[in-house]
Structure 1
């Protein structure tokens, strides 16, 4: 799914109005009616007090349309205009007149804290104060209104975006923003729904189709894409009946040190489970018996050193190399890593101590083959790009590093983001159970295994992150968040592949459901 920028959304609105021969007021009516339909389907006429707070711009116009439809359908509606300025948008004024024609309870004007209404915990708040076009500081009494929303404990539904949030920067103070229980976003999700510092402002979100021009939606390129099943499914390459292990590449996993052989074991198992034809591992001697016993499918090569890697040499021709898990950062290991990079021409996936060694000596970044994949967690990323002031600055610095060295950077987190130059791919699978030791080693192995089979580095990164998260989502049903461990992710990887081809369960029609209940 494409995530449009604020500027693209404005352009889409204009094109839609022109190409469909409608006015901006008509488009507002269409969009806000979708919110009404969403609420009406869930409330079914319930007389819970609904408090609709409208700004004086187009987001407020959406709120007025919604309030009008709620009123004409018999709901218990209280409408307020948050009067933070003397200016009014054209579509706001049109819909202000329209709502006055359907009720004697005209919208109440709020001008200061003394005007705030009493709201009970069981009421519903609709936040339609500010939209994506917010371009001014929020005045103090409006900030106090947002705090008032929170203090009431009432369910808060935001229209398009929680008021006070910008689409491209992090709020300076959390009290400046509405904390929504649910946000109904027009046409596209917003990037801020997926970033650690801003995702907290809406517990859940949903996209409403408001009928934007189809050609615009299909042909407009975006810098951000949201990745789910239907985005990765076209990437999947089925196996031919007559294929053999040689068709799926030979992966080499390099890493491990005394006490950290488990990291290599996890990565190599994940690599083979992701579909690599052959997997070899290069480790210090201390890990030989461990690998041969715990993972008999792997072929094992060892360094001459007993406890750490000091010289990376091998007589195989791997398709792809994953390096860094459990490697350590000893001086002799760092030198071996540098010498390896100087002669290597094979596609790379680098994780863990491989990233730390790059961060220690950034000149090594020049040695990376084009489209090398880096898979840092936040602290490893900070070592590579430097400290950032907020999530947007983090992404800016990451994109700059990706462009400079023509590499792919997988920024691990709750919504892992794959960065390829200016392009961002936001993953939608995964859960807090994946915050466990070894989870990153498994991800590195999965991506390496996909490249081994012929997926390009970007496809392997996007697809691998999705599969890793989906496997965790399936596994958590059996283990829960606390008891999920990295090995479980490997165990359920096959089910993650199978899930790609499962159809959503068909919901029973109401009449069929009634008949089934009566049998």
Structure 2
């Protein structure tokens, strides 16, 4: 799914008006009606008090359209205008006049703290104060109003975006933005719904189709894409009946040191479970017995040193190499990595101590093959790109780093983001159970295994991150967040593949209707 920028949404609105020969007021009516339909479907006329707070711009106009339709349908509605400026949009004024024609209870003007209405916990708040166009700090009294919303503990529904949030920056004060229980977003979700600094402002979100021009939606290229099942399914490469292991590549997993052979074992298992035809682990001598006994499907090559990697002598021709998990950062290991990079032309995945080596010796970055994949955890990422002040600054630095070194950077988190140049791919799978030792090693193995069998580096990263999270989502149903471990993610990887082709389960009434249609 494309995540459109603020500027692109404005462009889409304009093109829609031109091509469909409708006014901006008509488009606002359509948007407000979609919100009404969403609420009406769920409330079915229930007389719960609904408090609609409208700003004086187009977001407020959407709120006025909603209020008018709710009033006409007999709902218990109280409408307020948050009078925060002397400037009013044209479409707001048109809809302000329209609502006065359907009720004697005209919208209440709010302009200071004393105007705040009484709201009970069982009431509903609709936030239509500010939209995506907010470009100034929120007034103190409006911030206090948002605090009033939160203090009531009433369910809060935001229109398009929680008021006070911008689409491209983090608010300086988190209390200057609404804390919504649900957000109905037009055309596409907003990037701020997926970043740790800002996602907390909406518990859930949903996209409403307001009929924007289809050509615009299909042809406009966005800098951000949201990755779910529908986005990765076209990436999937099916297997021919007569295929054999030699067609699916040979993954080489390089890493491990005394006491950290488990990381290599996890990554090797994950690579094979992701579909790699062959997997070889390159480890210090101390890793030979653990690997051969715990993972018999892997082949093992050992370094001359007992406890660490000191000299990468490889007599095989792997399809892809992953380096760094559990390797440590001993000088001899760094030197071995440098010598390897000077001759290697094979696609490369670098994780853990491999990233720490790159951060420690920045000259190694120039030796990376094109589109090398880096999978750092937050502290490793900071060592690479430097400290950041907020999530948008982190993305800016990661994009600059990716462009400079022509590499793919995986920013791990609740919504892991894959960065390639200016392009961001935001993942939607995964859960808190992945906050466990070894889950990063498994991700490295999955990505490596996908490259091995013919996926290009970007496909492998985006698909690998998705599968990693989806496997955890399936596994967590059996183990819960606290008891999920990295090995479970590998064990359920097959179910994540199968899940790609499962149809959503129909509710009982839909299933009955389908059977009746088939009988006819």
TM-score above 0.5:
yes
Aligned to 1:190: 190
Aligned to 2:41: 41
Structure 2 CA distance for aligned equivalents of residues 379 and 210 of structure 1: 42
Structure 1 CA distance for aligned equivalents of residues 429 and 36 of structure 2: 29
Change (3 A) 1:510 1:293: closer
1:510 Cα offset (Å): 7.1
Aligned to 1:263: 263
Query: Deviation per CA, 1:413-468, whole angstroms, max 9, x where unpaired?
Result: 10000001100000000000011000000000000000000000000000000000
1:339 Cα offset (Å): 1.2
Aligned to 2:364: 364
Aligned to 1:420: 420
Aligned to 2:206: 206
Name the TM-score, length of structure 2 as normaliser: 0.98
Aligned to 1:288: 288
Query: Does 1:354 pair with 2:350?
Result: no
Change (3 A) 1:285 1:510: closer
Please give the residue correspondences for 1:131-146 in structure 2 after superposition, counting only pairs within 5 Å.
131-146=131-146
Structure 2 CA distance for aligned equivalents of residues 431 and 333 of structure 1: 34
Structure 1 CA distance for aligned equivalents of residues 93 and 75 of structure 2: 23
SS of residue in 2 equivalent to 1:178 = coil
Query: Does 1:385 pair with 2:385?
Result: yes
Aligned to 1:97: 97
Aligned to 1:307: 307
1:340 Cα offset (Å): 1.2
1:32 Cα offset (Å): 1.1
Structure 1 CA distance for aligned equivalents of residues 50 and 399 of structure 2: 44
Query: Deviation per CA, 1:103-137, whole angstroms, max 9, x where unpaired?
Result: 11100000100000000011000000000000122
Structure 2 CA distance for aligned equivalents of residues 273 and 209 of structure 1: 39
SS of residue in 1 equivalent to 2:200 = helix
Aligned to 2:473: 473
Please give the residue correspondences for 1:101-500 in structure 2 after superposition, counting only pairs within 5 Å.
101-500=101-500
1:506 Cα offset (Å): 2.1
1:342 Cα offset (Å): 1.3
1:333 Cα offset (Å): 1.1
1:511 Cα offset (Å): 10
1:344 Cα offset (Å): 1.0
Aligned to 2:14: 14
Query: Deviation per CA, 1:357-378, whole angstroms, max 9, x where unpaired?
Result: 0000111000000011001111
Name the TM-score, length of structure 1 as normaliser: 0.98
Structure 2 CA distance for aligned equivalents of residues 468 and 59 of structure 1: 38
Structure 2 CA distance for aligned equivalents of residues 340 and 386 of structure 1: 26
Structure 2 CA distance for aligned equivalents of residues 106 and 146 of structure 1: 22
The unaligned stretches of length 5 or more in structure 2 are none
SS of residue in 2 equivalent to 1:282 = strand
Structure 1 CA distance for aligned equivalents of residues 497 and 186 of structure 2: 32
Query: Deviation per CA, 1:280-331, whole angstroms, max 9, x where unpaired?
Result: 0000000100000000000000001111111111100000001110000111
Structure 2 CA distance for aligned equivalents of residues 33 and 507 of structure 1: 26
Farther-moved stretch of structure 1 (328-337 vs 246-255) = 328-337
1:512 Cα offset (Å): 4.4
1:507 Cα offset (Å): 2.8
Query: Deviation per CA, 1:63-83, whole angstroms, max 9, x where unpaired?
Result: 000011111111100000000
Structure 1 CA distance for aligned equivalents of residues 313 and 143 of structure 2: 62
Change (3 A) 1:410 1:511: closer
Query: Deviation per CA, 1:245-274, whole angstroms, max 9, x where unpaired?
Result: 000000000000000000000000000000
Structure 2 CA distance for aligned equivalents of residues 267 and 509 of structure 1: 44
SS of residue in 1 equivalent to 2:197 = coil
1:337 Cα offset (Å): 1.2
The unaligned stretches of length 5 or more in structure 1 are none
SS of residue in 2 equivalent to 1:410 = strand
Structure 2 CA distance for aligned equivalents of residues 233 and 399 of structure 1: 26
Structure 1 CA distance for aligned equivalents of residues 278 and 175 of structure 2: 55
SS of residue in 2 equivalent to 1:133 = coil
Q: How many residue pairs end up in the alignment? A: 515
Aligned to 1:72: 72
1:210 Cα offset (Å): 0.6
Query: Deviation per CA, 1:156-190, whole angstroms, max 9, x where unpaired?
Result: 00000000000000011111000000000001100
Structure 1 CA distance for aligned equivalents of residues 133 and 163 of structure 2: 10
Structure 1 CA distance for aligned equivalents of residues 142 and 259 of structure 2: 56
Query: Deviation per CA, 1:47-99, whole angstroms, max 9, x where unpaired?
Result: 11000000000000000000111111111000000000111100000000111
SS of residue in 1 equivalent to 2:341 = helix
Structure 2 CA distance for aligned equivalents of residues 234 and 283 of structure 1: 36
Structure 2 CA distance for aligned equivalents of residues 111 and 400 of structure 1: 44
